[in-house]
Amino acid sequence: GRILKMEIVKGKPTALVGSGVKKGDLLEVLSPDNTFLKTFVAEEIYDSAGNFVDDAKLVQEKYRIKCPYVIEQGAYLRRKVVK
């Protein structure tokens, strides 16, 4: 999904995204900056009320995902398929 906004929450980069991510997914960054093709595992996902969730599945909801680095707003995260 597209990164709607980047925030620093409790000292950690956090991406505000739409639906489509599950805890444990390997995510790949598609961006025009130095984070292009970097990957990380979605370990912490929170809904808009701040509740921890395992699956960002509701289409109208916005979710926050902890990231290991700051990613440009408007970049995309995609699930990387490991073969």
Tens digits of residue pLDDT in 5-57: 888 888 888 898 988 899 999 999 999 889 999 999 999 999 999 999 999 99
More confident residue, 10 or 62: 62
The predicted model gives 62-66 an average pLDDT of: 93
The pLDDT of residue 25 is 94
pLDDT of 1 > 90? The answer is no
pTM attached to this predicted model: 0.86
Residue-wise burial string across 11-49, b where 16 or more C-beta atoms lie within 10 A, e elsewhere: eeebbbbbeebeeebebbbebeeebeeeebebeebbeee
